[in-house]
Amino acid sequence: MAKPVRIGAQAALAHLPLWRASDGRDAIERDLHFSDFAEAFGFMARIALVAEKMDHHPEWSNVYSRVHVLLTTHEADGVTERDVALAKAIDLAAS
């Protein structure tokens, strides 16, 4: 498989209004809020299946009803179309 092409956070954000650039690295991030822990954890489980199918995994954390997601493509050392695709899947699952 070819190495993903780095497009950069700013190019990605043109298509992702709910996301922001991460400070200090070429990455995008979003904070999501749910009604409780079960809803937040259920969301993470659904996205884990999508991410596994895409073979592209987020950096994320969960505290009770909050989920923080950071996306970057490590082998490209920055944001690629793979991050945009996963971000769109996250947006769809969260809506």
Numbers of helices and strands, H then E, in the chain: 3, 4
The mean per-residue pLDDT over the stretch 77-87 comes to 97
Mean pLDDT value across residues 1-23:
94
- Looking at the annotation, which residues are catalytic? 52, 56-57, 74-75, 83
The dihedral through the CA atoms of 38, 23, 84, 71 has a sign that is negative
| pLDDT tens track for 21-78 | 999 999 999 999 999 999 999 999 999 999 999 999 999 999 999 999 999 999 999 9
- Indicate yes or no: pTM above 0.85: yes
- DSSP state for residue 35 in the 8-state scheme: S
- By C-alpha distance, which of 28, 16, 25 is closest to 77? 25
Q: Is the pLDDT of residue 1 over 70?
A: no
Neighbours of 58 (CB within 10 A): 22
